[in-house]
Structure 1
Amino acid sequence: MARTNETEIRLRILIEQPVPGVLHSLQGKDEAPLDPKQSSAGEALAFDFAIRVAPGPKFFGDQVRREGPERRFVYIRIGQLAGDPASPWSRRMKIDIHDLGPDLLDGAMTGRIIETTVLGTAKDGTPACATIRPINRRLVPR
């Protein structure tokens, strides 16, 4: 249940150039795969979800993970972890959200979506994993 000082905002993770045929999903609170999808020919995958923001800023929600007192991030599960037992990969992307700037947060609080774009294929041609740096962050209409 949200506290009165928390505001719900919408985020979108856009995975550009994912490895075709590899299942991706959000990781929920119970670590189960959420909204699994795969690219058939390398087209982008989009995951939309809500989080709550409190002053600080502090981030809360079923997809929000924490590491230490400051770092907050979202996991994208890949291959076996996304629900495909036949996949040769069992990986996760870690996408930081604690570094969202005040301009993005302010825009999201007016109803827009913060869209974070990441590359889905590593230099070796396999699914990208570990901490993934965004190639773009922007506000988009709902």
Structure 2
Amino acid sequence: MAEGQVITLRLRILDPLPGVAYSLQNRKSEPVGQVTAGNGPIAFDVPVRVAPGPRLAGDFVRREGAGRCFVYIAIGEQAGQHPSAWSRRAKVDIPALSAALLDQALAGAVLEAELPGRAKDGGPACATLHPIAGWQPVA
């Protein structure tokens, strides 16, 4: 196992709300890498360090209890857009990665999750978001 090696997770929001700012949120709850959505998908590359276990760690990785690992995407005011009609964040769970996926990531593949961008109310999707087709390696 390549402990300490950094892999990349890509969070790709397929249909974000145009004109709304999105960003990653670090462990200090600060917005990082703000992007204002247009008419197409947006993506965030998240550097993640492989720790013993294997566990995932890094500036954007948060933990809840013994097993839950996730990354926040800030939206609207929480992403630093002032003023904004929206102040939300989305929690994207990072499951325990299979040995095959982890090996591909350690070999340089980016692990991508495609995420929905709209909530039932028509606004930006928030709360816990689940990848549409799981985590997939991409070149």
Q: Greater CA deviation, 69-78 or 82-91? A: 82-91
**Partner residue in 1 for 2:112:** 115
1:93 Cα deviation from its structure 2 partner: 0.5
1:134 Cα deviation from its structure 2 partner: 0.5
Length, aligned pairs only: 137
In 2, Cα distance between the equivalents of 1:124 and 1:57? 38
1:56 Cα deviation from its structure 2 partner: 2.3
In 1, Cα distance between the equivalents of 2:96 and 2:128? 13
In 2, Cα distance between the equivalents of 1:34 and 1:102? 30
Q: Where does structure 1 differ by over 4 angstroms across 4 or more consecutive aligned residues?
A: none
**Partner residue in 1 for 2:127:** 130
Corresponding position: 1:33 with 2:45: no
**Partner residue in 2 for 1:64:** 61
Report the AA paired with residue 99 of structure 2.
P
Corresponding position: 1:94 with 2:91: yes
Q: Any unmatched runs of 5+ in structure 1?
A: none
Give 2:20's match in structure 1, choosing from 18, 22, 25. Answer: 22
Deviation string for 1:47-75 (max 9, x for gaps)?
01211112422111000001001100000
Report the AA paired with residue 94 of structure 2.
I
* Identical-pair percentage: 47
In 1, Cα distance between the equivalents of 2:9 and 2:77? 24
Is the contact between residue 15 and residue 44 of structure 1 (CA under 8 Å) also seen in structure 2?
A: yes
Corresponding position: 1:81 with 2:78: yes
Is the contact between residue 59 and residue 98 of structure 1 (CA under 8 Å) also seen in structure 2?
A: no
Deviation string for 1:26-52 (max 9, x for gaps)?
0113221111012222x1011012111
Q: Greater CA deviation, 98-107 or 64-73? A: 98-107
TM-score (norm 2): 0.92
TM-score (norm 1): 0.90
Q: Any unmatched runs of 5+ in structure 2?
A: none
